[in-house]
Structure 1
Amino acid sequence: MSYQVLARKWRPRSFREMVGQTHVLKALINALDSQRLHHAYLFTGTRGVGKTTIARIIAKCLNCETGISSIPCGQCSVCREIDEGRFVDLIEVDAASRTKVEDTRELLDNVQYAPSRGRFKVYLIDEVHMLSSHSFNALLKTLEEPPPHVKFLLATTDPQKLPVTILSRCLQFALKSMPPERVVEHLTHVLGAEGIPFESDALWLLGRAADGSMRDAMSLTDQAIAFGEGRVLAADVRAMLGTLDHGQVYGVLQALLEGDARAMLEAVRQLAEQGPDWSGVLAELLNVLHRVAIAQALPEAVDNGQGDRERVLALAQALPAEDVQFYYQMGLIGRRDLPLAPDPRGGFEMVLLRMLAFRPADVGGAPGRPLKDQGIRSATADSPSDPVAETDSAQSPAVSAAVSGESSAMAAPAFAEPIEPVSPPEPRLPAGAPDLPWEEPSQAAGALVSKSAAMLVGGMATAPVAEKTERAPESAVSDQPSPPARASLACERSTAPAADRAPERMPAPVTGEEPPPADDDYYEVDAEEVDVEAYAYLDAFPVEEPLPAKPEPEAEPAVAPATGLAAEWLELFQRLRLAGMTANIAANCTLVKAEGDHWVLHLDPAQAALFNSTQQRRLNEALNQHHGRTLKLDIELRKPEQETPAQAAARRRAERQRQAEASIQDDPLIRQLIQQFAAVIRDGTIEPLNT
């Protein structure tokens, strides 16, 4: 008896023997057991996942002599004939070889006849997507309303090519690809039943090489048995498939983990002995890194599809997450650039060396606390109930230095962090000052107004400033609240009801020898206008004389009006009728010399970027054509001393603009609108009529 390959010998003959596809089998079993049978079924999926096998099992279930059920007997003549492929009422059609409409019509001519032996005449059309459009059209009517004794079973690997009219007439079942775990499990059962020794790693290699197809896995197993002389060994399978030893990829990653360049290059040398595809090696490395990243995020999500789940979990524990992401990104870029390398192995080595050289630095020596103290104190976090009284016992050194007039080097700012803007602190007058029209301040806040605050809110330019060496009385220093206290006091005053507060005015700084300023000099302060942070910092430093305002630079004198040759050039420029860049060059020139046929022009150096020999030649040709003789033209880059055509045009435009604005300003109707309705003439909206 001839040898039968494993893929045919171990083809399932019932639903119980099927591997995987539970979602399809459940629907079919329930339909058969409940006699809810559709007239057309469509099975889709990749090659070798069981489409034709399921169709044949359905044909046995429908025609078994024991009756219609999901469990055919497998012993009757019908079941045996279907298994052997000689049942007359199971018509298997290869649509790839019978694509013409004539073939389909010949097939449908026999649909009306009753089955010869079974209950149903079953048409199994494989690779149905290969039919032509005319064949599909010929099949539509029969597929929609076939005779009761006819069932259609369609199978295809490319359902996207089927017309929607076909899809709408069928029950569609999408078969899934076989995962490597399922393939290895089935191969273990088959090889155990066949009595063939094998290694588990070899089965994982076959499972991955099958790429989701159980038939491919069985065929590769047949080949591996022949290659290994009756045994399925990992080394033989690896040599047969020409695949990479998965353990060598882990050797490279282990060398990267340890930062050992020698071990990494040795692992590359061992890889080179097998003559691998270096792009494939890099792809395998990226695949492992991807699984390591998944293990770090969700360990239970790592599958054992490659038989290395434990090694992946171990790497996930050893490699930092940032290293994994870095290596993966480096590998992606290196795989893209690998075809550009002079040598594929050298390109692969450079990718690994780049990973090793630019790996994330060790963060073990990073500081465990902030490098700079934030300056948050308990007094700042917990607001005291009486900030003014508290500042009497703990005086801020910054405020003392500011009031006593010490140098700025000794007066540090009172706050390490900025203060949120609040209402301005209320100034206090020294003892003996005349009564002012404002609310009586609290007893603890009676102190001298700081010079910086007076400059900030009391007329900085006009108020007299005391000498820096002048010191305040001791009583003023002791009664002066600290900046935090003044800020808190200002907050309390700003949140008080408006009816409880009288209008306040800020006085200018006074001394004991000067009379108090008049009421007109008072400045009423809005709470939103004062920056308390700047207020506090100004109080902490001595007051300095304001710098005098820098005088604005005077406008440069206008260019002298054109006279003599320059005036003649203005008139000549209008008659030359130049255009483009040549006209721009001529408009910024002035004529300085015209001795016979030798002319000299001065060009504004600002136009030097546009000037070249071509422009000079074109301008010379225009002058020759205008005068009717040949002139020798020289153009020098010098600032024109008299008005150029461009400057004259600008002057005329400015004069027309001034005249237009003056005419609007002097118009009686416009003046009436301004006086009666407070109308405003918007700048830049007036244009001369004649431009």
Structure 2
Amino acid sequence: MEPFVVSARKYRPQTFKDVVGQQAITNTLLNAIQNNHLAQALLFTGPRGVGKTTCARILAKMINSDGEEQSEEDFAFNIFELDAASNNSVDGIRSLIDQVRIPPQVGKYKVYIIDEVHMLSQAAFNAFLKTLEEPPKHAIFILATTEKHKIIPTILSRCQIFDFKRITVKDAAEYLKYIAENQGIEADDDALHIIAQKADGAMRDALSIFDRVVSFSGKQLTRKAVTENLNVLDYDTYFTTTDYILQNDIPSLLILFNTTLSKGFDGHHFIIGLASHFRDLMVCKHPNTVDLLEVGDEAKKRYLKQSQQTNNAFLLKAIDIANSTDLDYKTSKNQRLLIELALMKLASITFDGEKKNPESIALSNQIISLVPASHFRNIELANTKATTNNSTTNQNETAPTETKEQITVADTKPIVVPTTATPTVITKETSVTTAEITPPPAIKKLDINAPKRVSGLSLSSLKAKQEHKLNKIDVVIDESTLPDDDFTEEKLQELWNIFVDKIEAEGQRILASNLHSDTPTLKDRTTIAIQLPNDTMKKEVEREKFDLMEYLKKELNNYFITLEITVNEEAIKKFAFTPEEKYQKLREKNPVIDLLRQEFDLSI
């Protein structure tokens, strides 16, 4: 049984033509040799597995063969490879300098290849400076490193630097296809592309992965075998995920994600791959960027087909959500929920790239019919009789433009008549005989579960309030017919707390906080009194008290109650704003805390 030779050694390039993905550097070195323009100190730098040491060996061989390949010649005695990681002391460099002085016995040059040169110590670098700057005519130094920034500037200034780049996925896949054909292996293009992507620009890693997958699958290299062996998510997972997102199918998305986790894949890996998938769909949207898609031909057709089902706005929003989830993943306490929330957000995006949000509601859906039309007809009759008796009544009335109108009556405020056409303005300034007016029906209970209103300081609210003033009707109602039941302070406080809890649940936290700052008391039979610590809170409560008063009037069955708000400067002391004030409040409640602070020398 012959020993197995890994592909990275078996297919190591023997000439510059065989080097993959470094055409610029190999052409430069070939021209330098042909024109006798080669520097005596070269520095090859770049990522691992891209051909630095290989190019150094090829160059050393070509220098001694006058640019012609002579495989029968053996110049091993003229080529010295040193590992700076194990020979990084001053003594090693001194030994090297002593050897440099001796001319070669065969060939023209002695070539010294120093790998991982950044591992040399500071003293070794300094000992090497003079020889590197003025080497003998027969000596050429080739330094190789993956970390150029660790080499001191005085060394860099004495070398001709060649930056090796990562091997592209396309070049790596083509070279793997060439090797597979030599070994008689049938390999799918998609499978080779996955191996090339997994190698991350390193040809040596790609060859190692290739050997491992071939050992797993034999002579038939399929995409499924590669994904199973490398533990990577297949394209199908992301294509299916995107289909569910476009269909707004959240349950199927969550089941698919759970299946992915059950196979041993990490949620972070899943969301990173999904973001890359959206990026690939984006580059397929324009013919000029299709070449940026580094996949096989079959996968490219699927990407082009799915990209036609999306638009740029959707893909930009999706990439943003996936990228934000990627950034937040490591700091999240519940990482699975974070990914599931991102998937639900993605599935909630409409096809135009925006989510459907309910519009802000300002003074809408709050219209309540409190007074029937017959009540206004009674007012008309009363006003007509008053005009006949007094002969001093002015009446201006504009006919309404719509047959269906809803009337909103505010507490001690005018009635709003909202219409879609030109507002109807009716002004009544005549006193009305109370005996001839039919009493209004019981006021309907305010629906505090209606959609939340916007802040009273918003532009839409200010505009609505201005229309409120323009569409006003002054109506006189007989107060003697309204209910006036007695109630207790305990009942008042109970209803007060219920109302505050409801508006807080609806999102009106500022108003709820203001109403929670003091407990209401009964100043007299119909006057409710509260104390607030500043004028700002008082103005906010007065501006928004209508719903509160309507609610209390209805529940207490007393329409004569009023709210009296006073500002108590002493109440400000109840609130702690700075750390020192908070500490003082705690010390007032429990003086022992001061002993704790002194005992452990704690700071505030």
Same fold, TM-score > 0.5, yes or no? yes
Please name the residue that 2:70 is paired with.
74
Contact 2:227 2:233 in 1 (8 A): yes
- 1:175–1:607 Cα change, 3 Å: same
- Structure 2 length-normalised TM: 0.57
Rounded Cα–Cα distance in structure 1 between residues aligned with 2:36 and 2:397: 100
Q: Deviations over 1:201-251 (max 9, x none)?
A: 221111111110001111111111111134423222212211111221111
Q: Provide, for residues 377-428 of structure 1, a one-character-per-residue CA deviation record: whole Å limited to 9, x for no partner.
A: xxxxxxxxxxxxxxxxxxxxxxxxxxxxxx9999xxxxxxxxxxxxxxxxxx
Name 2:307's counterpart in structure 1.
316
When the two structures are aligned, how many residues end up with a matched partner? Answer: 365
For residue 215 of structure 2, the aligned residue among 208, 226, 238 is 226
**How far apart are residue 300 of structure 1 and its match?**
3.1
Is the alpha carbon distance of 1:361 and 1:197 closer, same or farther for their aligned partners in structure 2, counting shifts above 3 Å? closer
Task: Tell me, in whole angstroms, the C-alpha distance in 2 between the residues paired with 1:313 and 1:11.
Answer: 37
Kept after mapping to 1: 8 A contact 2:280/2:293: no
Q: Which secondary structure state, in structure 2, belongs to the residue aligned with residue 41 of structure 1?
A: strand
Instruction: Give the direction of change, closer, same or farther, for the CA distance of 1:130–1:409 in structure 2 (3 Å limit).
Output: farther
Q: Which residue of structure 2 lines up, in the alignment, with residue 43 of structure 1?
A: 44
Match for residue 141 of structure 1?
Answer: 130
Number of the residue aligned with 2:321? 330
Helix, strand or coil at the partner of 1:282: helix
The AA in structure 2 aligned to 1:54 is C
Listed one character per residue, the Cα deviations across residues 651-683 of structure 1 (whole Å, up to 9, x for unaligned) are: xxxxxxxxxxxxxxxxxxxxxxxxxxxxxxxxx
RMSD: 2.7
Matching residue within 203, 208, 232 for 2:192: 203
Task: Report SS of the residue matched to 1:49.
Answer: coil
- The aligned amino acid for 1:217 is A
Q: Classify 1:179/1:409 alpha carbon distance in 2 versus 1 (closer, same or farther; 3 Å).
A: farther
Please tell me the residue identity of whatever aligns with 1:3: F
Structure 1 counterpart of 2:570: 608
Alpha-carbon distance in 1 for matches of 2:190, 2:353 = 36
Query: Which deviations, in whole Å up to 9, do the C-alpha atoms of 1:20-48 show, x marking residues without a partner?
Result: 11110111111111111211111111111
Distance in 1 separating the partners of 2:328 and 2:69: 60
Q: 1:213 aligns with which of 162, 186, 202?
A: 202
Counterpart position of 1:653: none
- Quickly say closer, same or farther: Cα 1:350–1:608, change in 2 above 3 A: closer
Match of 2:18 in 1: 17
- Larger C-alpha radius of gyration, 1 or 2? 1
**Residues 314 and 353 of structure 2 are in contact (CA less than 8 Å); yes or no, is this contact kept in structure 1?**
no
CA distance in 2, matches of 1:196, 1:139: 49
Cα deviation, residue 162, structure 1: 0.8
* Residue 150 of structure 1: how far off its partner (Å): 0.3
Distance 1:120 1:409, change over 3 A: farther
- Alignment identity in percent? 32
When residues 173 and 311 of structure 1 are mapped into structure 2, their CA distance, relative to the original with a 3 A threshold, is: same
Q: Distance in 1 between matches of 2:353 and 2:567?
A: 59
Query: Corresponding residue for 1:583?
Result: none
Long gaps (5+) in structure 1: 366-406, 411-603, 613-691
User: What is the CA distance between 1:361 and its match in structure 2?
Assistant: 5.8
1:99 to 61, 65, 88: 88
Give the 5 Å matches for 1:386-535. Answer: none
Equivalences for 1:332-411 in 2 at 5 Å?
Answer: 332-338=323-329, 344-359=335-350
State the Cα distance separating 1:141 from its structure 2 match: 0.5
CA distance in structure 1 between the aligned counterparts of 2:108 and 2:56, rounded to whole angstroms: 16
Q: 1:260 and 1:137, CA in 2 relative to 1: closer, same or farther beyond 3 A?
A: same
1:181, 1:304 within 8 Å by CA — same for their partners in 2?
Answer: no
Query: Which SS does the other structure have where 1:296 is aligned?
Result: coil
Query: Measured at CA, do residues 362 and 100 of structure 1 come closer, stay the same or move farther in structure 2, by a change above 3 Å?
Result: closer
Tell me if the contact between 1:303 and 1:309 (Cα under 8 Å) persists in the aligned partners: no
Distance 2:257 2:34 in 1: 59
Please tell me whether the aligned partners of residues 100 and 136 of structure 2 are also in contact (alpha carbons under 8 angstroms).
yes
CA distance in 1 between partners of 2:189 and 2:282 (Å) = 26
Check whether the contact 2:41–2:158 (CA below 8 A) recurs between aligned residues: yes
- Determine the structure 1 residue equivalent to 2:58: 57
Q: Residue 74 and residue 305 in structure 1: after superposition, are their counterparts in 2 closer, same or farther (change >3 A)?
A: farther
SS in structure 1 of the partner of residue 186 of structure 2: coil
* Distance change >3 Å, CA 51–CA 611, structure 1 → 2: closer
State the distance in 2 between where 1:228 and 1:267 align. 27
Amino acid at match of 2:246: L
> Equivalent residue of 2:96, what SS?
helix
Query: Aligned with 2:44: secondary structure?
Result: strand
Q: Is the 8 A contact 2:85 2:120 kept in 1?
A: yes
1-side partners of 2:124 and 2:334: how far apart?
53
Work out the CA distance in 2 between the residues paired with 1:3 and 1:341: 47
* Contact kept? 1:44, 1:173, Cα under 8 Å: yes
Aligned to 1:4: 5
> How much does 1:359 deviate?
3.6
Residues 283, 293 of structure 2: 8 Å contact kept: no
The answer to whether the Cα contact below 8 Å between 1:127 and 1:157 also exists between their aligned partners in 2 is yes
1:610 shift after superposition: 6.8
For residues 317 and 93 of structure 1, the distance between their equivalents in structure 2, rounded to whole angstroms, comes to 56
What is the Cα deviation at residue 338 of structure 1? 4.0
Cα shift at 1:341: 6.2
Q: Larger deviation: 201-210 or 141-150?
A: 201-210
- In structure 1, how many angstroms separate the alpha carbons of the residues matched to 2:64 and 2:331? 63
In structure 2, the CA distance between the partners of 1:606 and 1:314, relative to structure 1 (3 Å rule), is same
* Structure 1 residue runs of 4 or more that deviate by more than 6 Å after TM superposition: 407-410
**Partner AA of 2:221 in structure 1:** V
Instruction: Name the CA shift for 1:236/1:360 in 2 (closer, same or farther; >3 Å).
Output: closer
Of 291, 297, 305, the residue aligned with 2:294 is 305
User: In the alignment, what sits opposite 2:97?
Assistant: 108
Tell me how far apart the structure 2 counterparts of residues 160 and 22 of structure 1 sit (CA, whole Å): 24
TM-score, normalised on structure 1?
A: 0.50
**What secondary structure sits across from 1:110 in the alignment?**
helix
1:272 paired with 2:234, answer: no
**2: CA distance between counterparts of 1:312 and 1:333?**
23
Alpha-carbon distance change, 233 to 293 in structure 1, aligned in 2, over 3 angstroms: closer
